């Protein structure tokens, strides 16, 4: 208890310390931006030669039947397509483009997470429904039907008002005589027709008045709807302008202002760079298949498995993924060996000393950010503890 009291009586204000950490983040942000930009610049400079070297190793490693499928014209076209792909992707390896790609990756991850949640909830709901349906099945279940449970359904005739004559046979003759007498009296029929015409005229006049009233009410409601729609459109436009202004203000500030935000920003840049190089590798593998230099195309999920460490290459050649697939062919002992191009930042750093030096600087700043993250969490905990001590904690001796 004395240690906690000494902790609360400290002269350091947690909010001041958090603001100092924020200021330190603002001071270190230009250095982080510069280190990452130098790293990406070296990636752009060394990428064309890295791709050429890797393709040369990939093609010359298996120069058997696969090479015979291509022609001179296809190989020339292949070289032009590779140069175009490399030049197009080099322009996208910048901090700004990688930031946009990192946002898309985050959206994809959130969508995958929501889809997984929906699948789990749907499977659980289907399981519960099946259990309920099985529990209701049995001898004591109730069957609901629109047909009444009667042996003679003829007695239900007339329930909906379709019979005008009496139901019983005894009342049938007086009912028919009364109908005949009414038809034989012409004066009564004429009077009844005149009365019915007068009633129809009155009903038509009242209907016209009601229709006019309804039209007036509809015009009033249409005016109010138009005014409400105009107000709603103005509110939507104002809110849209406000959101655009907020988004512009957020986009103007490229780097976060907290240690956790800066550390996650650096990690997102690395993730987006790996995704960009993976897409480039898949495009080059597709061009290899089109030109006839290889006869297999590795899907993207295999490349993702190799990037995540789930699949390890059986050879130590840089930027080339080699793995074996099991087959039923007795001649291919050990499986079918498949090679493909997979450019990774780690392999490029292994072959380039400048990239390794830039990676060392980036690791240094990441370690600095990790220390700042620990300090931020500590002072945030101190701030919460002091707030509880001042506002929520009560002395039980005064109760």
Mean pLDDT over 138-154 rounds to 60
Spatial distance between the Cα atoms of 65 and 43, rounded to a whole number of angstroms? 34
Spatial distance between the Cα atoms of 345 and 354, rounded to a whole number of angstroms? 12
Dig out the tokens for 57 from the structure: 């190793």
Q: State the pTM of this model.
A: 0.64
Checking 146-152 for CB contacts under 8 A at 24+ apart, the result is none
Please compute Rg for the chain using Cα positions: 41
Task: Kindly report which listed range (97-101, 267-271, 323-327) carries the lowest average pLDDT score.
Answer: 323-327
Mean pLDDT over 304-314 rounds to 88
How confident is the model at residue 385, as a pLDDT? 84
How confident is the model at residue 195, as a pLDDT? 55
DSSP string of 325-361? E--S-SSSTT-EEEEEE---HHHHHHH-HHHHHHHHH
How confident is the model at residue 371, as a pLDDT? 93
Over the stretch 167-206, which tens digit does the pLDDT of each residue have? 444 444 555 555 445 444 444 544 555 555 455 544 555 5
- 368 phi and psi, to 5 degrees? -60, -40
Mean pLDDT over 313-327 rounds to 84
Spatial distance between the Cα atoms of 324 and 168, rounded to a whole number of angstroms? 91
Residue 47 pLDDT greater than 60, yes or no:
yes
| Residue of higher predicted confidence among 366 and 223 | 366
Sign, CA torsion 302/304/308/313: positive
Spatial distance between the Cα atoms of 352 and 181, rounded to a whole number of angstroms? 117
How confident is the model at residue 237, as a pLDDT? 44
| Residue of higher predicted confidence among 277 and 206 | 277
Q: HSE of 265 in the Cβ direction (CA atoms, 13 Å)?
A: 20
Spatial distance between the Cα atoms of 337 and 32, rounded to a whole number of angstroms? 42
Over the stretch 102-145, which tens digit does the pLDDT of each residue have? 999 999 999 989 998 888 888 877 777 666 666 655 545 556 66
Residue 207 pLDDT greater than 50, yes or no:
no
C-alpha dist (Å) from residue 6 to 11, 12, 231, 390: 10, 12, 59, 15
Over the stretch 226-268, which tens digit does the pLDDT of each residue have? 444 444 444 444 444 444 444 433 443 468 889 999 999 999 9
| Residue of higher predicted confidence among 345 and 215 | 345
Collapsed DSSP state (helix, strand, coil) of residue 274? helix
Spatial distance between the Cα atoms of 372 and 370, rounded to a whole number of angstroms? 5
Highest mean pLDDT of the ranges 51-60, 117-126, 385-394: 51-60
CB atoms within 10 A of CB 358: 21
The H-or-E segment that residue 323 falls in is: strand 320-325
Percent of the chain with pLDDT over 90: 34
Considering the chain, what is the average pLDDT of its residues?
74
Highest mean pLDDT of the ranges 77-81, 223-227, 352-356, 381-385: 352-356
How confident is the model at residue 15, as a pLDDT? 86
**Quick one: which of 353, 296, 294, 352 has its CA closest to 319?**
352
How confident is the model at residue 177, as a pLDDT? 54
Place of tokens 């509809």: 218
Q: Are 355 and 43 in contact (CB under 8 A)?
A: yes
């Amino acid at each position: 208890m004395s240690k906690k009291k000494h902790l609360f009586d400290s002269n350091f204000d947690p909010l001041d310390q958090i603001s100092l950490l924020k200021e330190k983040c603002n001071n270190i942000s230009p250095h982080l931006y510069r280190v990452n930009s130098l790293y990406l610049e070296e990636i752009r400079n060394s990428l064309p030669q890295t791709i050429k070297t890797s393709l040369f190793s990939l093609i010359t490693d298996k120069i058997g039947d696969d090479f015979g499928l291509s022609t001179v014209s296809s190989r020339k076209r292949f070289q032009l397509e590779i140069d175009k792909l490399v030049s197009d992707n080099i322009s996208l390896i910048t901090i700004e483009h990688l930031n946009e790609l990192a946002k898309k990756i985050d959206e994809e991850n959130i969508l995958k997470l929501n889809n997984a949640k929906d699948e789990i909830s749907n499977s659980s709901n289907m399981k519960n429904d099946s259990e309920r349906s099985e529990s209701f099945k049995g001898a004591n279940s109730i069957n609901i039907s629109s047909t009444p449970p009667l042996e003679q359904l003829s007695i239900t005739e007339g329930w909906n008002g379709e019979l005008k004559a009496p139901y019983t046979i005894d009342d049938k003759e007086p009912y028919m005589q009364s109908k005949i007498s009414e038809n034989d009296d012409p004066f009564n029929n004429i009077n009844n027709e005149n009365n019915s015409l007068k009633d129809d005229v009155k009903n038509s006049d009242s209907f016209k008045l009601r229709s006019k009233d309804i039209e007036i009410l509809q015009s009033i409601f249409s005016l109010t709807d138009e005014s409400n729609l105009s107000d709603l459109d103005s509110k939507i436009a104002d809110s849209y302008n406000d959101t655009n202004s907020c988004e512009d203000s957020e986009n103007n500030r490229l780097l976060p202002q907290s240690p956790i935000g800066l550390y996650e920003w650096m990690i997102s840049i690395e993730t987006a760079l790996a995704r960009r190089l993976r897409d480039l590798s898949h495009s080059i593998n597709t061009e290899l298949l089109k030109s006839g230099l290889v006869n297999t195309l590795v899907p993207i999920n295999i490349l993702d498995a190799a990037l995540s460490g789930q699949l390890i290459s059986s050879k130590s050649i840089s930027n080339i993924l080699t793995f074996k697939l099991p087959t039923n062919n007795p001649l291919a002992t050990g499986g079918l060996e498949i090679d493909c191009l997979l450019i990774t930042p780690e392999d490029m750093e292994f072959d380039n000393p400048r990239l390794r030096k830039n990676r060392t600087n980036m690791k240094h700043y990441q370690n600095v950010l990790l220390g700042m993250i620990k300090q931020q969490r500590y002072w945030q905990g101190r701030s919460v503890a002091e707030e509880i001590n001042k506002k929520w904690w009560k002395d039980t001796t005064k109760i």
